[in-house]
Chain A
Amino acid sequence: MESKIKNRRDFLKEMGVYASSTAFLASIPWLDAFAQENGKNVAASDRVRIAVIGVGSRGRALLMNLQQVENVEIVAVCDNYEPHYSRAIELTDGKAKAFYDHKKMIDAVKDIDAVVVATPLHEHAHIVVDCLNADIHVFCEKAMARTLVDTKLMADTAIAKGKILQIGQQRLFNPVYLNALERVRAGEIGQITQVRAYWHRNADWRRPVPSPELERKINWRMYNEYSGGLMTELAAHQVQVANWYIDKVPTQVMGSGSICFWKDGREVYDHVALVYDYPDGSKCTYDSMIANKHHGLEEQIMGNLGTIEPEINRIYSENPPQAPGIRQLVHDIESSIFDVIPIGGATWIPETAVQYRGDVIAPYENNDSFLQFVGFAKAVKNNKPYPNLLREGYHATIAVLLGLQAMDTNEIVAWPAEYVMEKDV
């Protein structure tokens, strides 16, 4: 395990933000985590003691990421499903105390610094609020909650208690997204007028169920009571990206949802299409479906000077560099100069004149789900939330829930003022 642990300075370098402008770094407070010297030989008391609640598919992956973070100790695990409960014990070599009930866990293990919550959506709010009220910092998977009221309750509780509530929007820690964002802020793609985001899969999105009475527990994503379907599970990531890059809170959303292909008793839409409006007139158009995967997923961030496709790590200019001879020709004509036009230059070297597929935004080998925990562990150790980090996850969840409302009611839904979280300055 030891060899996988990296120095924080290395992270920053890898994150491609090492050389960033101080103004940009200051605008992304959670990058602080990577800017500081890494503490070698920390005393045991300096360790961050974390418990994982909900060790299902995502929880397992998160747990394994956490095990690679410096100075993090997994002291307890909790899952109310026997196979996952046992698996969690195995994953922690029996070192973590195991529970079926998070309340019992909070009572029994006194010195938990933080919990990671990766239960199904409807099981987020009450667990998170219980932990915050017990003065425990929380990392909770996206989306935040099944309802607007629960979402707000979670945020309000965290703020009132002065505790960290970090939402699993891992793109906020992704070097490619950060690098691209810096370039957006520096004006490289001009004014963003549209983010066109989509997530397409071709699969029924069901999980095998060992016995019928477990259907709703295992396939919670299929039922409105537990999940917002594609919106809370997939769109939350991408609408967060749109809000972040446009740097505004939407004013309204319209949309249409249907069960179009997978008519197998599910309640959630298998096909959604929405438009989010922003105060400056820009829009995020969003669609998701699970009966065709040709286009995959992307957030196409479009400005008048360029386009960013962060999922595939590409940036495109609206005016890619010109062949030198032609550049001179155009300049000459515009200046009424009639010089000889040089041709046969270097640009025609076949192997350098590759197809214009845009440029790579940033080299990236890291795992953003891991990086977000490096940030989280640091915040827990400092006992202080990063300014504006919760705001991103909060607005993403509000946005997808309002989108659901628009589709359910077939009406344009305005963003209620009480669900706007102001920026910390």
Chain B
Amino acid sequence: MSEQPIFNDSFFAMGTRCDVVFLNIEQEFGEQIFHLIKNEVTHLEHRMSRFIPDSPLSELNKAGKNEWIPVTDDLWNILTICFDFYQMSNGAFDITAAPIIKLWKSNKPPTKDEIEKAKQISGFDKVEFDFENQKIKFKTDGLEFDLGAIGKGLALDSIKPIILKQGIENGIISFGESSILALGKHSNGKNWPLGIRNMYNFNKFVHVFSTSNETITTSATILNTDDGGVKKRKHIISPVSGLPVEVNKAVSIKSESATLGEFLSTSFLILPENDKIILSEKLKKIEILEVEYLDDNNFKSKLTIL
């Protein structure tokens, strides 16, 4: 056992597990902070989930065509950020794409016709913002916001100032190990070494991010199962084409903001090379790891430091 007290607990939220680790901290104090985190995440989830029938987001989603709907401050911030992301990514990152994504969840692939219909009731361009009065309007019926792609990032970004204010310096907060905030330093005084595994060779790392007061977020179309096997998925859909991303790829982003990280990891899975370059020009203090898994148990990786 180490001499320093370490606090570790977890809870379930946002469809995954949130693990909390603090270094050099008394158990009781750790518990207090843990509760703050849990409350914050629960609160966020209750406001932003479209699965909770009376959440403010669900209320918004009920709105019909051409109604101006007033939006609360917190949701307004999130929606406008997501609108920026939508524009920055040329439509690749779109929180209104649920109808298209849903199509690919069934066992048989959708028809062209079905894709066209889904496109008609989705697309951030069908949302109008009244910036002065903080209102939005849907230009079509059936439009819905889904913050699933970015929820964990928002949660990490809102937890961070809360725990910093409590004097927590070193620790890890992880949502299912796909969205991670690394605070301060590891117990050896160095940056946290967060390793992205080679999915074909579970004991090897493709890259190790040296992380301090930053977040790592990962999105992928391929993943390891619990028994170390590999599973390919077609759940990342390009809202523009309406088609799933077919290459076996994982994108991990190191950034200060986890929200930005979630946006980038998803966008970099979808975007063509050219658009990625254009998007990269607007970024700084970001590291992007793209790993493409080839059919012959090999992989290609590319690390971009901006």
Contacts and interface: CB of A to CB of B under 8 A. Distances in A.
A343 B19 contact: no
Looking at chain B's contact residues, is the secondary structure mostly helix, strand, loop, or mixed? Answer: strand
Contact of A333 (B6, B12, B174, B226): B6
B297 interface: no
A359 B231 CA distance: 25
Nearest to A325: B177
Contacts of B190: 338
Interface of B: 1-2, 4, 6, 8, 10-13, 15-17, 19, 21, 23, 172, 174-178, 180, 186-188, 190, 192-197, 205, 208, 216, 218, 220, 223-226, 231, 250, 252
Contacts of A344: 177-178, 196-197, 218, 220, 250, 252
A356 B9 CA distance: 14
> Which of B1, B13, B172, B231 has the most CB atoms of chain A within a 10 A radius of its CB?
B172
Contacts of B252: 344
A417 interface: no
A57 interface: no
A-B pairs with lowest CB-CB distance, top 3: A348-B176, A348-B178, A340-B195
Contacts of B16: 347-348, 350, 353
A331 to B, nearest CB: 10
A93 to B, nearest CB: 49
Contacts of B208: 340
A340 B12 contact: no
A343 B187 contact: no
Contacts of B10: 320, 322-323, 326
A159 interface: no
25 contacts: A322-B19, A323-B19, A323-B174, A326-B19, A329-B172, A340-B193, A341-B193, A341-B194, A342-B197, A343-B174, A343-B180, A343-B194, A343-B218, A346-B226, A347-B176, A348-B176, A348-B178, A348-B218, A353-B15, A353-B16, A355-B12, A355-B15, A356-B11, A356-B12, A356-B17
> Which of B4, B12, B16, B195 has the most CB atoms of chain A within a 10 A radius of its CB?
B16
Contact of B177 (A326, A335, A339, A350): A326
Contacts of A334: 1-2, 6
A329 B171 CA distance: 11
A347 B187 contact: no
B187 A333 contact: yes
> Which of B174, B205, B231, B250 has the most CB atoms of chain A within a 10 A radius of its CB?
B174
A349 interface: yes
Contact of A326 (B15, B21, B226): B21
Contacts of B194: 340-341, 343
Contacts of B8: 326, 330
A212 interface: no
A326 B186 CA distance: 13
A320 B190 CA distance: 30
A354 interface: yes
A348 B197 contact: no
B197 to A, nearest CB: 5
Nearest to B180: A343
A342 B19 CA distance: 14
